[in-house]
């Protein structure tokens, strides 16, 4: 748009086509922005809920977490993730991964050689790890959605604030210019006609 | 540690009480560490005890003594031990671990009879930490009961080691390190 415009009918026609395209693209970006805002809000809510649940579990576990310091118990081997299953979905043009399920490696617990607290620790730690992984997936999803939302906003604003007004202004300028040229041509033609008539009368 | 007979050994060992105060921990740690000397600095207290006991025991008794561990005290070799105190404690631990195993299986299957099973175990339902301390107290009491009537003999040395192992398990419960472990194992990869 920064290029110098050609003040002719072809440019005018091209600009009118451009303006039409801009006007049809604007609602698309507005809708995309709206849809993305809704999804972003939903993901933010989900992140908030997960964060709260993680904090709550951490708080509740603190009462007895001291047992997890027992050196002879390799708690880590009981909380080993085998697979995280996600589903790919497209939301307003953004490809996102959604959490479906998590599978932990099955470890046999020897109830004679391990302490009683281990069962509670495995249960709370697998739940917490699941939430942490879900949170990680949601955060990545939010990142991708926010990026796309920013892009949609940029496009909407560019169309609304720059492209459409500029196209309209250029069309107005060309139309004024072409109108002036046309009026000048008519004026000239009238003057020529008048001169011719005066010459004929003299003869 | 003073060289001599088993009486010397028993009298030089720090007195143990079922207590997890800093004072008791420091006293037991410092006495055993001092006796162990600089050569064994940083050693586990059980290793120090085993090493010191070895000086006063026959090779076979020392081998039995060193093999005592709370994790596998329920095994047949301990239950059939020629030492009556060790055998009785092992048999009692076998019973206790059976009870705990039933409770754990019931809890895993979320069975209704969990509470009934718990009644077979003389512990009150609480947090895993509270339940573990109750179990340790039961074990301590049993070891204490078995020590009665034994004075500076192998059986007393056995009950001393059992008590020390029970205390060390309790003392290993540390909130700060527990939180670190919990955070470490639950962080997403």
Q: Do B129 and A117 touch (CB under 8 A)?
A: yes
Tell me the C-alpha to C-alpha distance, in Å, between residue B90 and each of A73, A87, A191, B82. 21, 53, 128, 12
Render pLDDT for A15-59 as a digit per residue (tens, 0 to 9). Answer: 999 999 999 999 999 999 999 999 999 999 999 999 999 999 999
Q: How far apart are CA B60 and CA B58, in angstroms?
A: 6
Q: A65, B179 in Cβ contact below 8 A?
A: yes
Q: How far apart are CA A60 and CA A99, in angstroms?
A: 25
Query: C-alpha A45: how far from its chain's center?
Result: 17
Per-residue pLDDT of chain B (189 residues; tens, 9 = 90+): 444 578 888 988 999 999 999 999 999 988 888 877 766 666 789 999 999 899 899 999 999 999 999 999 999 999 999 999 999 999 999 999 999 999 998 888 876 555 555 557 888 989 999 999 999 999 999 999 999 999 889 999 999 999 999 999 999 999 999 999 999 999 987
Take residue B133 and report the two structure tokens written for it.
Answer: 């301390």
* Cβ neighbours of A67 in B, within 8 Å: 128-129, 132, 173, 178
* Cβ neighbours of A125 in B, within 8 Å: 182, 185-186
Which residue in B17, B12, B53 sits closest to B32, CA to CA? B12
- Out of A81, A119, A125, closest to residue B189 by CB: A81
Q: Do A125 and B186 touch (CB under 8 A)?
A: yes
Query: What residues contact residue B161 under an 8 Å CB cut-off, 6+ apart?
Result: B46, B49, B50, B53, B65, B68
B63 CB burial (10 A radius; 0-12, 13-18, 19+): exposed
pTM to 2 decimal places: 0.84
Q: How far apart are CA B68 and CA A160, in angstroms?
A: 81
Q: Which residue has the tokens 């409770």?
A: B103
* Cβ neighbours of B128 in A, within 8 Å: 64, 67, 116-117, 120-121
Q: Which residues pair with A95 in a beta bridge?
A: A90
A residues 23-62 lying closer than 8 A (beta carbon) to B: 58, 61-62
Interface probe for A, chosen from B95, B118, B167, B178 (most Cβ of A below 10 Å), is B178
Q: Do B177 and A72 touch (CB under 8 A)?
A: no
pLDDT of residue B1: 45
* Chain A closest-CA separation from residue B44 CA (Å): 12
Q: Alpha helix locations (H) across B109-127?
A: 114-120
B residues 110-149 lying closer than 8 A (beta carbon) to A: 127-132, 135
Render pLDDT for A93-135 as a digit per residue (tens, 0 to 9). Answer: 899 999 999 999 998 999 999 999 999 999 999 999 999 999 9
Query: What residues contact residue A60 under an 8 Å CB cut-off, 6+ apart?
Result: none
């Amino acid at each position: 748009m920064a290029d110098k415009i050609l003040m002719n009918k072809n440019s005018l026609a091209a600009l009118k086509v451009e303006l039409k395209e801009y006007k049809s693209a604007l609602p698309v970006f507005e809708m995309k922005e709206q849809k993305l805002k809704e999804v972003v809000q939903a993901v933010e809510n989900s992140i908030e809920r997960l964060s709260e649940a993680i904090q709550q579990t951490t708080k509740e576990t603190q009462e007895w977490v001291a047992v997890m310091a027992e050196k002879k118990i390799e708690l880590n081997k009981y909380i080993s993730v085998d697979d995280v299953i996600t589903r790919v979905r497209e939301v307003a043009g953004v490809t996102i991964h959604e959490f479906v399920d998590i599978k932990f490696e099955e470890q046999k617990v020897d109830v004679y050689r391990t302490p009683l607290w281990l069962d509670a620790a495995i249960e709370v730690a697998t739940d917490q790890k699941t939430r942490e992984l879900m949170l990680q997936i949601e955060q990545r999803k939010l990142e991708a959605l926010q990026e796309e939302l920013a892009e949609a906003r940029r496009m909407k604003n560019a169309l609304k604030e720059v492209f459409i007004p500029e196209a309209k202004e250029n069309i107005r300028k060309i139309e004024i210019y072409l109108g002036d040229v046309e009026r000048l041509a008519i004026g000239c033609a009238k003057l020529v006609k008048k001169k011719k008539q005066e010459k004929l009368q003299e003869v | 540690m003073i060289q001599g007979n088993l009486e010397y050994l028993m009298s030089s060992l720090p007195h143990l009480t079922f207590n997890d105060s800093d004072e008791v921990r420091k006293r037991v740690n410092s006495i055993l560490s001092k006796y162990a000397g600089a050569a064994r600095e940083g050693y586990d207290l059980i290793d120090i005890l085993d090493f010191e006991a070895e000086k006063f025991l026959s090779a076979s008794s020392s081998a039995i003594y060193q093999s005592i561990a709370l994790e596998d005290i329920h095994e047949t070799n301990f239950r059939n031990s020629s030492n009556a105190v060790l055998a009785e404690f092992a048999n009692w631990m076998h019973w206790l671990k059976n009870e705990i195993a039933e409770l754990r299986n019931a809890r895993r299957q979320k069975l209704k009879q969990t509470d009934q099973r718990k009644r077979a175990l003389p512990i009150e339902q609480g947090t895993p930490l509270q339940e573990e301390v109750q179990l340790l107290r039961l074990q301590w009491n049993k070891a204490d009961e078995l020590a009665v009537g034994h004075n500076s003999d192998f059986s007393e040395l056995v009950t001393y080691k059992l008590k020390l192992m029970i205390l060390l398990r309790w003392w290993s419960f540390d909130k700060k390190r527990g939180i670190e472990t919990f955070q470490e194992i639950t962080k997403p990869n």
